[in-house]
Copies of this chain bind each other. A is one copy, B any other.
């Protein structure tokens, strides 16, 4: 009998799911038992995503067959995820859900942004899976709602200011690589459309907005944010540029000390002096943050760079899974 927990990765044919499956497959203390997909069932994952080098064959999800694992990472789209998570939870499987279905705490807000929830009995039972903010709750959770990519970078970048009561107002301008738009082949994701282009999208209407506001509120900063994502011509990588109006006059030294202290013990957050480039965190679980005072305009500028598919999705899911299973938090992520 093996003492290594068995894990299923559902939705492993998507970009984040494939990386999650590869991380579990190579993880020294986990066993990848199953991979599922909605459209590519029957194909080997290593054929769909050669870089994953996962030799398992994608299957249609079957709750009886796949519900026997110890834990599951679910990377289905919003809406499609909820009933699958419910089926797994009903069988006692620990779940990290990468969709938005269990991130929000207010049901009307969820329904307004995503449509009617498809597993209402489980709504609100998840722990918000940002380990740097909720490590203990995650460790005791049965269901973790893995944060969205933009919220991950935005919250890590703004949490020290929010906790310090300095977040009077904020504009978040975000830039993301094309993998953030998913594996679906569309006019937007066509190489000829995205190459040599920069394109704002979902202006004033991106679904990560209420998620960021909810979590900032829990940190003490109740406010309406302005959040605008832009598509930039690279595959993976995400930068959040946050322009903060502080509640009081804060100087550069104080800011640096605030951030250095906030993340001194965090293995996956790097506070750096200069502004970080997204390439510096490519294919890693790191979030790189710099904070700057702008004495001319009395604003604070914060940059937070992550890999949208890693810390923004797959590797953060594994980080959460490690916590839930009592494993070293960074196991399988280095």
Residues of A at the B interface (CB closer than 8 Å) are 15, 26, 50-51, 171, 173, 175, 177-179, 183, 185-187, 189-201, 203-204, 209, 224-226, 228, 230, 232-237, 239, 241, 243, 275, 277-280, 282-284, 288, 292-299, 301, 303, 305, 334
- Would A175 and B204 be within 8 Å (CB), given that A183-B192, A230-B241, A243-B226 are in contact? no
Residues of the B chain whose Cβ atoms lie less than 8 Å from the Cβ of A225: 297
> Do B195 and A275 touch across chains, with their CB atoms under 8 A apart?
no
Task: Add 17 more A-B contacts to A51-B282, A191-B193 (CB < 8 A).
Answer: A51-B279, A171-B171, A171-B299, A183-B190, A195-B234, A195-B279, A196-B282, A198-B234, A198-B237, A198-B239, A198-B277, A203-B292, A203-B294, A204-B296, A226-B294, A226-B297, A228-B243
- Would A233 and B234 be within 8 Å (CB), given that A185-B185, A191-B178, A204-B301 are in contact? yes
> Do A203 and B277 touch across chains, with their CB atoms under 8 A apart?
no
| A278 to B226 CA separation, bound complex (whole angstroms) | 22
| A295 to B204 CA separation, bound complex (whole angstroms) | 8
> Do A297 and B178 touch across chains, with their CB atoms under 8 A apart?
no
| A179 to B192 CA separation, bound complex (whole angstroms) | 6
> Do B192 and A301 touch across chains, with their CB atoms under 8 A apart?
no
| A233 to B190 CA separation, bound complex (whole angstroms) | 12
> Do B51 and A235 touch across chains, with their CB atoms under 8 A apart?
no
| A225 to B294 CA separation, bound complex (whole angstroms) | 10
- Of A51, A189, A224, A279, the most chain B CB neighbours within 10 A belong to A279
> Do A175 and B189 touch across chains, with their CB atoms under 8 A apart?
no
